Amino acid sequence: MNGQELLKQHISKTATLTDEQFDYFFSHFTLLSFKKGQTIISEGDEVDCEYFVVSGCLKAFFINDDIKMYILQFAMSTWWTSDYNALYSHSRATINVDCITDAEVLCLKSADREKLCAEIHQVEHFFRWRTNRGYVASQKRLLSFMNNDAKKRYEELLTLYPELYNLVPKHLIAAYLGITRETLSRLYNGR
């Protein structure tokens, strides 16, 4: 499915747009192609876009002072990603986004999103619900962090997104779970 159809179908689950409204909405997006390993947002960048993933897999991650990486989010087809903190507070990026595989994304400028939200009530409705879902997912992950040990979180992740198992290297899975690659290795090989 191409990006336009994918986005149309994605939005129609939450909001009702006429064909003309959708075409107008879609006209604000730019299709970008990236190769595996390419960077989309770097720490320190001015962030003014968010991204709807058409194909491939991205990661949004944070690098701490000890150069350890923590993955905030994997983003696959129909997922949205950006540095929402920077985007919302108009500050510089503190997280990075890059490509785990070759990827195609639809880029929407923040100013355009706000314009579209103001112009088309249903677009604002869509973004409210999208963020709702993100918020709930984020709270669930937080709870999982507090309540479950690394093994349980690993199993939970693979239950929720089995496609990740073959798609992303294990040291990235570890970085998502908040543990080291060594510990992850020991979890599924006995001890």
Partner DNA sequence: CCTGCGATGTGATGTATGTCACATAATTAA
Partner DNA sequence: TTAATTATGTGACATACATCACATCGCAGG
Which of 43, 48, 109, 134 lies at the binding interface for its own copies (CB under 8 A)?
Answer: 134
Residue ranges that bind DNA, judged by CB under 7 A: 36, 66, 68, 149-151, 169-172, 178-187, 189, 191
Position 88 contacts its own copies (CB under 8 A) = yes
Which CB atom, from 103 or from 184, has the smaller least distance to DNA?
184
Which CB atom, from 21 or from 101, has the smaller least distance to its own copies?
21
Question: At its nearest, how many Å lie between DNA and the CB of residue 123?
Answer: 38
Question: At its nearest, how many Å lie between its own copies and the CB of residue 189?
Answer: 23
In 3D space, the residue among 130, 105, 104, 126 whose CA is nearest the CA of residue 116 turns out to be: 126
Continuous H helices in 61-120: 84-89, 110-119
DSSP string, 6-73: HHHHHHHTT----HHHHHHHHTTEEEEEE-TT-EEE-TT-B--EEEEEEES-EEEEEE-TT--EEEEE
Position 142 contacts its own copies (CB under 8 A) = yes
Asked if residue 103 lies in contact with residue 32, where contact means CB atoms within 8 angstroms, the answer is no
Site residues (vs its own copies, CB under 8 A): 62, 64, 68, 70, 72, 84-85, 88-89, 117-118, 121, 124-125, 127-128, 131-136, 138-143, 145-147, 178
